[in-house]
Amino acid sequence: MDTNILGKNIARFRREKGLTQEALAAVVGVSGQAVSKWEVGGSPDVDLLPAISDCLGVSTDALFGRVGLTHVNLLEEVQRAVGEAGSLEEQFKLSCEIAWVMHQSCIGGERPIKPLGVGEDFRGNPEDMNSRPWYSEYHEEIGHSRIRIDEGRRYFLLMPTPPEGWKFDDEDALLRVFKLFADADFLKAVIYLYKHHPEMKFTVGFLGKTFGFDDERAAAVVEGLKSLELADEEEMEYDDTRVTYYNFRPNPAIVPFLTFAEDMLRPAGIFWGAMLGPRQWLA
């Protein structure tokens, strides 16, 4: 039995967090020499363990090597961690970190988990970081995973292959969607609605005035929105006149759709651990 499992795990988790002994010591409230002694065979006081585990981002069980979580317990632990992360912004941030760990675990085998961002084993030019996307992806028979990791527009996609394989049965419907988004006026209206007024009400005249459309063109754009169920029609009385207006109904698929389209047109600045088949590294 390893009698220094606690010290070795403190050293391991500290290095994985990128902390020096002095940095851990400052958080816990001890000297750097004390941390050094723990890692080579000493033991911290029991009342310091919660502070140590919090600083290292692991449970006290993990410090003692007790990491045999069941499937259910693991899901519960993730749910608890995200739920207790604080604000919705912090919950999203932690969720992105969890997604990145999941993605790396599927790709990397024994490779060490990296923080979300760019490490030393990327392929690309760091000078591209402000103008081109960074992402990692892999494709295998069992499915597809892709994560964009730059600060500009992060996302995570995990798509297990369906039992019947990838099929798109209604090609005519897909062509209608692409035809709509190929219309510059329609695309401008969609981007405007998502960017400025996620739940707005508008009229045909408003679209015409905003984009310089004539009434016929604005009405055609509205019909396109209605065909994708991005708008529904209502009427109201205003100064003894019935006015037709439309409620914008955002579809959560639209922003990823446009993001993926944009990614197709912008070569990646950085690939990190991308694969094009079973366990084939491109980096």
Query: Quick one: pLDDT at residue 76?
Result: 80
**Residue 188, C-beta contacts closer than 8 angstroms, at least 6 positions apart:** 211
Instruction: Please name the amino acid found at residue 146.
Output: R
Query: pLDDT tens, 137-160?
Result: 877 888 888 888 777 788 899 999
pLDDT band at 277 (very low <50, low <70, confident <90, very high): very low
Distances (CA, A) of 141 to 131, 146, 169: 32, 15, 20
Query: CA triplet 177, 258, 151: central angle to 5 degrees?
Result: 170
Q: What's the pLDDT at 193?
A: 92
pTM of this prediction exceeds 0.75: no
Contact 222, 203 (CB under 8 A): no
Q: What percent of the chain lies above the pLDDT cut of 70? A: 81
If phi > 0 it is left, if psi is from -120 to 50 it is alpha, else beta; for residue 200 that is beta
Q: Per residue in 229-245, is it b (16+ CB within 10 Å) or e — as a string?
A: ebbeeeeeeeeeeeeeb
**Average pLDDT of the chain, as a whole number:** 81
b (16+ CB within 10 A) / e for 198-213: eeeebebeebbeeeeb
Q: What number of other Cβ atoms are within 10 A of residue 225's Cβ? A: 21
In tens, the pLDDT along 223-234 reads 999 999 999 998
* pLDDT given at position 178: 95
- Asked if residues 182 and 176 have their Cβ atoms less than 8 Å apart, the reply is no
Query: Residue 281 — pLDDT band, cuts 50, 70, 90?
Result: very low
Side-chain-side CA neighbours of 51 within 13 Å: the count stands at: 14
Residue range 5-63, CATH number: 1.10.260.40
Provide the token pair at 188. 């401008």
Q: List the one residue out of 6, 85, 4 whose CA is nearest residue 53.
A: 6
